[in-house]
Amino acid sequence: MRALDRLQPLALLALRLALGAIMISHGAQKLFGGMPNFMGMLNKMGIPGWMGYLVLAAEFGGGILLVLGLLTRLAALSMLIDMAVAIFKVHLSNGLRGAGPGKAGYEFPLACAAIAFALIFFGGGPISLDGAFFRGGGSSARK
């Protein structure tokens, strides 16, 4: 329906704001006191602790970029990689919905990864700083 096509920029805005807020929240937990524990957890999984700073950049910095709609595709790519690692290294063994208390499944990171995947291909849309600076944010949504 053509009427719904005109609302596609709002859909991209909703996806950006939702994923951005989630990622900012998770990044803030690490930034404001949780980095040593997070880096220790990474080390236990065989991932160098310093990579925690890449996760922090993807989640907190990338989340801010998504909310602003600035460098949307790059921010979304960093989040897709972040969520893929979280799924395969942390959550996959617990199944889709989890294996009991304290053993979260991969349904939530999978949903975040799917949103990030969509944003990589659709861009930030016209209601974004990408849209203001880069002709519609690279969105394929009809204008």
- Between CA 75 and CA 66 the distance in angstroms is 7
pLDDT band at 32 (very low <50, low <70, confident <90, very high): very high
Residue 4 lies in a domain: no
Residue 137: its pLDDT value, please?
53
Amino acid at 94: N
pTM: 0.89
Residue 19: its pLDDT value, please?
98
Number of domains in the chain: 1
Return the structure tokens found at 78: 């960093």
Residue 48 lies in a domain: yes
Residue 3 lies in a domain: no
- Between CA 63 and CA 107 the distance in angstroms is 20
CA 91 to chain centre: 16
| Mean pLDDT, rounded, for 81-103 | 90
Question: Which residue range(s) make up the domain with 55?
Answer: 9-138
Residue 2 lies in a domain: no
Residue 76 lies in a domain: yes
Least confident of 27-31, 75-79, 95-99, 125-129: 95-99
Question: What secondary structure letter does DSSP report for 98?
Answer: -
